[in-house]
Structure 1
């Protein structure tokens, strides 16, 4: 072979190898782009759950729901839980879009749906709240020291009372109770949450603490172990509350020894709901309600979670169910149609 011919063959070989390398690099680039697009398409769904005050049942329930979602969906979901002041704050967050789901007292939701705008929600935004499930009932606690002279609501006149944080469901219902008992403006109200209120009670800075929560509430359990407490009965105010605000309220009982050394009392009770809005996509609601019932060992780690029941969870009146939640109950043969 001549030198010229040899050089030509070598040049063609190098060209062939360069072409093969170019094709390989092009294919690798296409694959990388396709992989990146696929990663975006399967990015985890972000779900934000508004819970409640630290140490309260809402906060613990929201954390358990987060764990159940992760157990069901794994990397398909990214769940975060917000510490909040409670129901009214949670409704505000749903309205503002900073929370996807929230645990709320049914009375606060009914009030919002009747036209009272949650604090902080833009005036131009109309929020169509929707329920996902009824979770359990809240019980109103009126906590005093065991030696306190306060035996009934009438004894709160002129006393210092912690009514809950300013945007809490506790403050919402505590003020309704005070009004129904003819005590509006007659007690010295402090907007303190549960932990702050119990600390103030211990220091003698308030005489009584309102709390709205499931049974038992961990922070009250802890307080009852360190000092002698008593619950003030509130059963007599149920009838005037129902007359004014409807059947969302009913009589409940906090059994004896729910808290160490504390006698049982009749009180005001009402449902707690897992809430969202009509704008939440069906697939997300479907995932959440499925996870809620699929992991009783996780939800049941919260005492109130052990009360979750499919047959009762559908009863969210006066709040309408999200369509995807209604479809779930229909598939489970809980709802007709």
Structure 2
């Protein structure tokens, strides 16, 4: 139990610190792909996926980690990921983004997080669990890309490495946009950790490394998975209500650590302050949290569980969820940002 608590909190705090300082939120990245035609964050996500994939499959080859792709429901993944994509636009942040922004003092993120937690618990073991079971039983197919395509997983990883390398090389050749930098108030390591603007690609490598480390540490406690946010978030409420020790797991302490790490980063960098949104934003954030809980429960993962982890594990679930998550973000972005702008211009 002590090992589970300490390692869960430590890895979570490390992740929360990196996410907050790197401003890593996939909601903004996916939105910018559509509105600003800026793919930088998406490329960074691909880099994080690649780093994690290489490291975790090396651990699997060494016998340090176990993983079975199993099966997945096409209906649940497509519908859930799309709904989740809509939800994160309304909530103003993805699953991890909502956690670390709550650690920065954003009350709107607290509202989104609360409803995300409540709805996910209801979808997992509460009154809505029947919906999750029913939808997840439709269109069940094999989840392993390697088995479906009859190739070795390392071939798929090699293709991913090649594609991401080409994408990043081409991106690096683009003309650089100079961003004005304020005069540093700190020096040395303090400046790098708490003041300097972090590159999304440096952040991506760190996120990929942390995601890979999470696998053997989590499995050492009996939880056979890497990073995850939705189920652990629901577990907090489930344990608080029932007191059932089955909900106590490494993932639950991971998300609690994520909050702690982001709070530390925000306080140390001077970015923490309580911010109370207006009533309309509170309602929108809460609605986003509800859709996040429903969508992530149906899809079997959020922007981290599916978009970062299951993609790295070369599963259909991860990559299909990522596509429909992005489509959900784009549809919501049109109605929330693009259409109102056009109407005001008219």
When you count helix as a share of all residues, which structure comes out higher? 2
Higher relative contact order (CA 8 A, sep 6+): 2
What TM-score, normalized by structure 2, do the two folds share? 0.24
When you count strand as a share of all residues, which structure comes out higher? 1
Structure (1 or 2) with the larger CA radius of gyration? 1
What TM-score, normalized by structure 1, do the two folds share? 0.24
